[in-house]
Amino acid sequence: MRILVTGGAGYIGAITIERLLRAEHQVIALDSLVTGHRESVADGAELVVGSFGDGPLVTNLLRDRGIDAVLHCGARSLVGESVTDPALYYRENVIGGVGLLDAMRTAGVHRLVFSSTAAVYGVPNETPIREDAANVPINPYGATKLAFEEAMRWYGAAYGLCAFSLRYFNVAGASPSRGERHDPETHLIPNLLAAYRGGPPLTVFGTDYPTPDGTAVRDYIHVLDLAEAHLAALQATATMEPGLEVCNLGSGSGFSVKDVMRAAESVVGSPVPHSLGSRRAGDPPILVASNERAAERLGWRPALGSLEEMIGSAWDLVRGSTAESGTSAAALPSEHALPEH
Ligand SMILES: NC(=O)c1ccc[n+]([C@@H]2O[C@H](COP(=O)([O-])OP(=O)(O)OC[C@H]3O[C@@H](n4cnc5c(N)ncnc54)[C@H](O)[C@@H]3O)[C@@H](O)[C@H]2O)c1
């Protein structure tokens, strides 16, 4: 397959590209580099710097490179920023996204896999969360992801788009050569590892949740498992009926913040430097995926579901890059101890 990966210079896009190249697909990364990194794109893939919302650019790219399918990982994805600047999120994630859909129509490309999020569910009534749970996002980030899903659904009905929306829970871990590099970093595991490396201590937001140890429970999925699911979904778009299929991608297991800290302690060998804080507004107590549909529809099951594997892979990478550069690794701010999406 010839695959266009938007956001291919970001954390998830770049690691998925490694997997697509190993499966001998041809890959073009399209990335504006607004949060991504040029050097994250593997050597075997071409990087085009630009926006997925740039209709003429994308139409020409799809046509000139004979693209078969698009993996749409590019997005703005900071929950807090989406609350203070919703215009940016609607412009990029929705208007830009519809620009991508229209370029695909113009170029006659009908296969699409989309990076969606558990944030479309908001604060769910039941756990584990199934795909037919109500969609009530509580921030513009989740709302814009949902709006794009709806656009995909209607484009399927009217124009023959064959699309998968993959709703990720908390993505974690690294490949041997690429990991998470967000700035600001809002995710628990990289912030916890930064605390070990001399960054600010981790703040645990909320110790009085109605959970077994009082800290919030989340579902973590290894980024390498995610890459496998992307590959399976891209393949499935070749044979599906036009329309939208939605699958959660999570491990199906819930881990509390304290569970994650204990696993980190066993990987690193010492306790996580941390302090205890109060709850943040809008953080639900428990978010765990049902991943049955992904198993049925894509034949996908997570293979790397342990916290030790996720934390260990990320720790190996940051230690390796620190040793290579010969400097002490830059500490990232660890102000957010709960995953945001
Ligand atoms: N990391 C997670 O835990 C998580 C969870 C749920 C969903 N997601 C979704 O997965 C996707 C990838 O997330 P990530 O963690 O790799 O984020 P990331 O910020 O590392 O990657 C996003 C990439 O998109 C690029 N980009 C942004 N706007 C663009 C535009 N208009 N045109 C072209 N490129 C653009 C950025 O430069 C960046 O390289 C996002 O859509 C995000 O919403 C991530």
Q: What is the pLDDT of residues 267-306, one digit of tens each?
A: 999 999 999 999 988 888 999 999 999 999 999 999 998 9
Verify that 232 and 315 share a domain, yes or no.
Answer: no
For residue 281, with 0-12 CB atoms within 10 Å meaning exposed, 13-18 middle and 19 or more buried, which class applies? exposed
Is 267 part of any domain?
yes
Q: How confident is the model at residue 215 (pLDDT cuts 50, 70, 90)?
A: very high
Q: What gap in Å lies between CA 11 and CA 182, rounded to an integer?
A: 8
Q: Please tell me whether the peptide bond between 200 and the residue prior to it is cis, using omega within 30 degrees of 0.
A: no
pLDDT higher than 80, residue 181: yes
Nearest CA to ligand 1 atom 34: 31
Nearest CA to ligand 1 atom 31: 51
Domain limits for position 242: 2-171+220-249
Decide: 226 and 302 in contact? Cβ < 8 Å: no
Decide: 16 and 232 in contact? Cβ < 8 Å: no
Question: Could you identify the atom of ligand 1 that is nearest to the CA of residue 74?
Answer: 24
Is 341 part of any domain?
no
Is 295 part of any domain?
no
Verify that 109 and 195 share a domain, yes or no.
Answer: no
- Mean pLDDT (whole number) for 193-197: 95
Which residue out of 11, 141, 196, 220 is catalytically annotated?
A: 141
Q: What gap in Å lies between CA 221 and CA 271, rounded to an integer?
A: 23
Q: Please report, for the domain that includes residue 49, its CATH number.
A: 3.40.50.720
pLDDT tens digit sequence for 55-74: 999 999 999 999 999 999 99
Decide: 32 and 50 in contact? Cβ < 8 Å: yes
Is 334 part of any domain?
no
Q: Tell me which residue of 98, 297, 336, 305 sits closest to 219, measured CA to CA.
A: 305
Verify that 187 and 38 share a domain, yes or no.
Answer: no
Tokens of 213: 């140890």
Pocket of ligand 1 (CB under 6 A): 6-7, 9-13, 30-36, 51-53, 73-77, 92, 96, 115, 117, 168, 170-171, 182, 341
**Bridge partners of 112?**
70, 163
Is 269 part of any domain?
yes
Verify that 188 and 157 share a domain, yes or no.
Answer: no
Is 277 part of any domain?
yes
Nearest CA to ligand 1 atom 3: 171
Q: Please report, for the domain that includes residue 284, its CATH number.
A: 3.90.25.10
Verify that 96 and 182 share a domain, yes or no.
Answer: no
Verify that 264 and 142 share a domain, yes or no.
Answer: no
Verify that 95 and 236 share a domain, yes or no.
Answer: yes
Q: Which of 65-69, 146-150, 248-252, 278-282 is predicted with the least confidence, judged by mean pLDDT?
A: 278-282
Is 337 part of any domain?
no
141 catalytic per annotation = yes
Question: Could you identify the atom of ligand 1 that is nearest to the CA of residue 141?
Answer: 43
- Mark 53-92 as b/e (b = at least 16 C-beta within 10 Å): bbbebbbebbeebebbbbbbbbbbbbbbbbeeeeeebbeb
**What's the pTM value of the predicted model, to 2 decimals?**
0.94
H-state helical runs in the chain: 11-22, 55-64, 79-84, 86-89, 97-107, 140-159, 188-196, 223-236, 257-268, 292-298, 307-325
Is 333 part of any domain?
no
Verify that 235 and 311 share a domain, yes or no.
Answer: no
pLDDT of residue 283: 86
Verify that 133 and 151 share a domain, yes or no.
Answer: yes
DSSP 3-state of 101: helix
Nearest CA to ligand 1 atom 28: 75
Question: Could you identify the atom of ligand 1 that is nearest to the CA of residue 187?
Answer: 3
Decide: 55 and 49 in contact? Cβ < 8 Å: no
Verify that 134 and 190 share a domain, yes or no.
Answer: no
Q: Which amino acid belongs to residue 128?
A: P
pLDDT of residue 23: 98
pLDDT higher than 90, residue 328: no
- Provide the number of structural domains found in the chain: 2
Distance 130 CA to ligand 1 centre (A): 24
Q: What does DSSP assign to residue 201? A: P
